[in-house]
Amino acid sequence: MEFQRFQQAFANHLRDPQRAPRPPGVPARGMGVYRELVGNNLQGFVDSAFPVCRAILGEARWLRLGRGFRRDWPLRTPWFREIPREFVQFLAQTPGLRLPRWLPELAHYEWVELAADIADAAIPPHDPVGDLRHGTIILNPVLFNLAYAWPVHRIGPDWRPRKAQATHLLVYRDADDIVRFSETNPVTAHLLALLAETPQSGEAACRQIAAELQHAEPERLVEFGLELLADLRRQGIVLGTE
């Protein structure tokens, strides 16, 4: 029990050396080495995952945000590669950070690139030239179908949005293990969501969307949807059919 209290005091000081005192018996110099190692390591993972956010906020403000993350967020994961995901949650769920309204979504978009790059997903069996109309569609297993309130893919040090703009983006890893990005529209996003939720034929999914939209020419929409699926297959978003 005593050792656990020591561990907690040690960790509290590493998180917040200004308010949590150094545990008794720990040399100041040694404690300083631990503080520097932990702070630099955690900050390094955050820095490398969010270069656009960092550039926009500036170094001083970014480092303050990193210190707040280490101090206030209950980081419980033992995996270094999960630290950026925790940082995204910190930005989205912590009140009073006084950040640009779009920055949490921008950080999520930057994190998705890392998530797609390191995702451990096996390619399912599929026919790459299968019939998209009648066959069950197989999607790329490393595919993020994203909807944002802000045009995060355009935000950078030289441009920042003044008003929200609904944005749909696809982030996926292709057959060469390269992470790709594609802007899309609500109907395409909904089509891919349907296929992800319930594997089915291209025609069945397109007819469902036509019914939902009460489309005046459902056959025309089905043909358009099949052409779209063919294009998504060329991009590597759709792999083929069962």
Could you tell me if 81 and 164 lie in one domain? no
pTM for this one?
0.89
Which tokens hold the place of 8? 């907690």
Could you tell me if 145 and 239 lie in one domain? yes
Could you tell me if 54 and 127 lie in one domain? no
Could you tell me if 70 and 152 lie in one domain? no
Could you tell me if 218 and 163 lie in one domain? yes
Is position 168 within any domain?
yes
> What is the extent of the structural domain holding 40?
1-99
pLDDT score, position 75 = 77
Is position 220 within any domain?
yes
Interatomic CA distance for residues 111 and 123, integer angstroms: 22
Is position 108 within any domain?
no
Could you tell me if 159 and 242 lie in one domain? yes
Is position 105 within any domain?
no
Q: Among 84, 99, 114, where does a domain finish?
A: 99
Contacts of 178 (CB under 8 A, 6+ apart): none
Asked whether the beta carbons of 191 and 228 are under 8 A apart, the reply is yes
pLDDT score, position 222 = 97
Is position 110 within any domain?
no
The pLDDT tens digits of the residues spanning 10-37 come to 566 566 667 667 777 666 676 665 566 6
Q: How is residue 95 annotated by DSSP?
A: T
Burial of 69 (0-12, 13-18, 19+ CB in 10 A): buried
Looking up residue 152, the CATH number of its domain turns out to be 3.90.930.50
Structural domains of the chain, count = 2
Nearest to 151 by CA among 166, 162, 132: 166
Interatomic CA distance for residues 150 and 159, integer angstroms: 13
Residues of the chain with pLDDT under 70: 1, 3, 6-17, 19-20, 25-28, 30-39, 78
Could you tell me if 161 and 233 lie in one domain? yes
Residue 167, H or E segment: strand 167-173
Is position 140 within any domain?
yes
Could you tell me if 43 and 145 lie in one domain? no
Could you tell me if 90 and 132 lie in one domain? no
pLDDT score, position 80 = 83
AA identity, residue 183: E
pLDDT score, position 2 = 72
Longest dimension (CA), the chain: 78
Could you tell me if 235 and 126 lie in one domain? yes
Is position 117 within any domain?
no
pLDDT score, position 101 = 97
Could you tell me if 157 and 230 lie in one domain? yes
Interatomic CA distance for residues 80 and 214, integer angstroms: 48
Question: What residues pair up with 172 in beta bridges, in sequence order?
Answer: 143, 180
96 φ/ψ sector (left φ>0, alpha ψ -120 to 50, else beta):
left
Question: What residues pair up with 137 in beta bridges, in sequence order?
Answer: 241
Is position 199 within any domain?
yes
Could you tell me if 151 and 224 lie in one domain? yes
